[in-house]
Amino acid sequence: MSARVIVLAGPSGAGKSRLAERSGLPVLRLDDFYKSAGDPTLPVIADGPNAGVVDWDDPASWLPEDALAALAELCRDGRAEIPVYDITQDGRCGSQTLDLGGSPIFVAEGIFAHHVVGPCREAGLLAAAYCVRQHPLVTFWRRLTRDLREHRKPPLVLLRRGVALLREQRHLVAQVVAHGCEPVSPEQAATQIRRLTAGVR
């Protein structure tokens, strides 16, 4: 192997993407492995105010096998072809090559990132795994303002989704931790990543 991966998991809006960017390491955005709209296997919300809308927070809306294949290729070869996903269009809009540039460590982040922790650990690809978390109200506000700014979905859908995720956050964090991620704040994660990176280099 030429590299190992630091996995950043946790609730949407907790600060995973910002933390990954601040790390200065190459970043694999696991949300690029979403299924495209129109895929007949996409899960749909069955009841509540968002009934009939695709449930993008369900792991069944994501392609774990593709994500794991890309992770393995990056760790082995130091580069891989990665899909580019446009969340406003609910689909892939091309691909790009992610080249680690010889870095012995890189970051993979996304809302389903905890699902790759076990397989990566078993394959010897994992450097560390963190569950990035903040107070639920902070996460709710950060997520809502980001999604509105980026026009990810209609405002009412975003608000309803945000309230639902707010109520479920503690359960989600427990799930992520159960998958083998260490629960940390963004600041704690940044410190540990710096130490880990310094040690590897």
Phi, then psi, of 164 in degrees rounded to 5: -65, -45
Q: Report in angstroms the alpha-carbon separations of 43 from 37, 40, 56, 67, 174.
A: 11, 8, 8, 19, 23
Q: Collapse the DSSP code of 129 into the 3-class scheme (helix H, G, I; strand E, B; otherwise coil) and give the result.
A: strand
Confidence (pLDDT) at 201: 61
The pair of three-digit structure tokens given for residue 74, joined into one six-digit string: 């990056």
H or E segment to which residue 108 belongs:
strand 105-109
Q: What does pTM read for this prediction?
A: 0.83
* Contact in structure between 31 and 111 (CB atoms under 8 Å): yes
Better-predicted residue by pLDDT, 6 or 13: 6
So where are the chain's domains?
4-200
Phi, then psi, of 97 in degrees rounded to 5: -90, 125
Residues found in the chain: 201
Confidence (pLDDT) at 165: 76
At residue 86, what is the residue type? D
**HSE (side-chain half, CA atoms, 13 Å) at 189:** 30
H or E segment to which residue 80 belongs:
strand 79-86
Helices 155-178, 136-149: inter-axial angle, 10-degree rounding? 130
Q: Which of 5-9, 96-100, 175-179, 196-200 has the lowest mean pLDDT?
A: 196-200
Q: Which of 28-32, 115-119, 167-171 has the lowest mean pLDDT?
A: 167-171
Better-predicted residue by pLDDT, 27 or 49: 27
pLDDT digits (tens, 9 = 90+) for 72-105: 999 999 999 999 998 878 888 899 999 999 999 9
Q: Angle at the Cα of 190 (from 140 to 7), degrees rounded to 5? A: 75
Phi, then psi, of 122 in degrees rounded to 5: -65, -35
* Contact in structure between 181 and 115 (CB atoms under 8 Å): no
Structurally, at CATH architecture level, domain 4-200 sits in 3-Layer(aba) Sandwich (3.40)
